[in-house]
Structure 1
Amino acid sequence: MKIEVRKVTKRYHLDEALKNVSFTLKGPKIYGLLGRNGAGKSTFMDILAGNILATSGEVLIDGENPFDNQTLSSLVCLIKEGNNFKRELKIKEVIRIYAFFYPEWDQQLAEQLLHEYNLKPQAKIKTLSKGMESALGIIVGLASKAPITIFDEPYIGLDAAARKNFYKQMLEEFENEKRMIIFSTHLIDEVSLMFEEVLILQEGRLVLQESAEVLREQTCAVTGKVEDVEAFIKGKEVIEKKQLAGMMTAYLFGSMQEAEEQGLKVEGIPTQELMIHLTEKKRGA
């Protein structure tokens, strides 16, 4: 499937959550949608899921607007960090509703995951802990088999072991049946190796869209004497520079091999660190 985001702006009174954002996503692929709190990630996901309208611009799924579009609604599953389900419903009722709504629903997978997460079908949503409610969201997202599955911080309340199990299950389901997965998280180091492409938003603007492989191979931190680093980074795209006691570290897009040949100390930049540096600089896309 193809998602086109065309000059999208979303205003809430005087605040702009998204500011003239444009990009394209093509599936099947696992995307990491990253950014600090208030960057506009959740707003974009709500527009994509057809929950709200953009103030200007448009989001299209295979050429169609998802808002108030019943056909597209059954192709997109958005799982947020909380309040996904009505409090008075029982787990079995939630499963029944979503099974009816999503045509590719995998009931066998849903029942398997309910057992793995030790969720009782008779339990009401209002009686669940935060972790249990997150587990139910994960189950619904995976079992929906929706061609566009969106997870927005879906693991609140889950311990490290449960999160690791979720990541493993998500990868297995993706390998078994390809789909577009958009994953938004603050625990970037835990999941960055799963991403095939990374998007970073900052204050409503897109500051980066790049394949994860390119980021791993072509972003680096180089350290050396100020004059040596300055000479190396001349003409290159620099993310940030830090200087202390005659030494400099520069974060940039460039060749690690070239930097090593110049006698500089070179390290790769983890995706989480890259996101921090980019959003501190508030760079343009």
Structure 2
Amino acid sequence: MSGFGVEVRDLTARYDATVALDSVSFTIRPGVITGLLGRNGSGKTTALSVLAAFKRRASGTVLVDGEDPWENERVLAGTCLVRESGDVAQDQKLKDTLEFLADRRPLFDTQLAGALMDRFELDPLNRPDRLSRGKRSAFGVVVGIASRTPLTLLDEVHLGMDAPSRYAFYDALLADWLEHPRTIVLSSHLIGEIERLLEDVVMLDRGAVLTVSDADTLRSSGLTVTGPAHDVAAFVAGREVVARQHLGRTAQATLVGPRDDDAARARAAGLELGPVALQDLFVHLTDRVPTPEEAR
């Protein structure tokens, strides 16, 4: 199983008079983990809802595994959208929900679900409406990973989980994806935590696409330079600096727009060059002055 690919062309989606997605286009490659990144209100949840046929588009083309997902039994059977708390019945025991899913999802792994329940210390006799927010999110993680659908959409599923639980989630997701490759779209604002998982990135801002790229290419659009503060300042003079850090006499600056002579200049100055974090690029690309309407 290599997963479903996704093609989106000129997609517009609305909530009454509000345009959530405005003629966006992007591709999600089959069999990879793609990060869907954006600030709150950027359109991430709307995009995932359209892909999963939870919401109908206003216009444009959406193809999942080459077919329109809307009311498409085959595509929907191979798609799992998990939002915070897992979109499951709140008054049913967790074990009953897992049995229901195992009966209806042909690739659902009951043994894996049980192992994840143990890992996140979830009582199968409990119900979601009696769980903390973090435990409800953990159960959503169990559902998303154990379903093993060809297209798995995880929308901020970590909300409410503490740091050890989040990292357990990332490790479990990556381990199972390596053993059972499929298409996974991971929406999160914790970019620094998830970037090690990502092969591709789709970045949204205010209902539009900012960039679609593989993660390595996106990282290569910037660089970090580290060394004595005075030498770093001279190196970055006149350049576009998106982040700075200082520790005593040592400084690090993050640049966008690397130049061909950067490596030679850094060697001559005794400076160290390194890759840029996706988090820094994300903040730079989405940094903006609020409109008068947003500032009210």
CA distance in 2: counterparts of 1:136 and 1:72, whole angstroms: 24
Matched, 1:70 2:70: no
Alignment deviations for residues 154-200 of structure 1 (CA, whole Å, 9 cap, x no partner): 11222111111111111110110100110011111111111001111
Q: What's 1:85 paired with?
A: 88
Does the 8 A contact of 1:80 with 1:154 survive in 2?
yes
Query: Runs of 4+ in structure 1 displaced over 3 angstroms?
Result: 221-226, 238-242, 262-268
Matched, 1:57 2:60: yes
Alignment deviations for residues 242-273 of structure 1 (CA, whole Å, 9 cap, x no partner): 9xxxxxx7832334x62242358655321111
Does the 8 A contact of 1:148 with 1:179 survive in 2?
yes
Alignment deviations for residues 32-86 of structure 1 (CA, whole Å, 9 cap, x no partner): 1101000000000000011111111021112211112221111111111236112
Q: What's 2:97 paired with?
A: 94
Q: Identity of paired residues, percent?
A: 33
Does the 8 A contact of 1:81 with 1:152 survive in 2?
yes
Please state how far the C-alpha of 1:88 moved relative to its aligned partner: 1.3
SS at the partner of 2:115? Answer: helix
Does the 8 A contact of 1:229 with 1:250 survive in 2?
no
Q: CA RMSD in A?
A: 2.3
SS at the partner of 2:129? Answer: helix
Compared CA separation, residues 175 and 42, structure 1 to 2 (3 A): same
Does the 8 A contact of 2:65 with 2:75 survive in 1?
no
SS at the partner of 1:138? Answer: helix
Does the 8 A contact of 1:200 with 1:208 survive in 2?
yes
Q: How many residues align?
A: 268
Q: What's 1:275 paired with?
A: 282
5+ residue gaps, structure 2, are 226-231, 245-252, 290-296
TM-score between the two structures when normalised by the length of structure 1? 0.86
Deviates more, 1:39-48 or 1:6-15: 6-15
CA distance in 1: counterparts of 2:181 and 2:72, whole angstroms: 23
Q: What's 2:258 paired with?
A: 254
The structure 2 residue matched to 1:182, chosen from 185, 201, 209, is 185
Deviates more, 1:135-144 or 1:9-18: 9-18
Superposed, 1:179-258 pairs within 5 Å as: 179-220=182-223, 224-225=233-234, 229-230=237-238, 251-255=255-259, 258=261
Does the 8 A contact of 1:240 with 1:281 survive in 2?
no
CA distance in 1: counterparts of 2:282 and 2:154, whole angstroms: 19
CA distance in 2: counterparts of 1:240 and 1:136, whole angstroms: 38
5+ residue gaps, structure 1, are 243-248
TM-score between the two structures when normalised by the length of structure 2? 0.83
Q: What's 2:170 paired with?
A: 167
Please state how far the C-alpha of 1:220 moved relative to its aligned partner: 2.3
Q: What's 2:292 paired with?
A: none
Q: What's 2:39 paired with?
A: 36
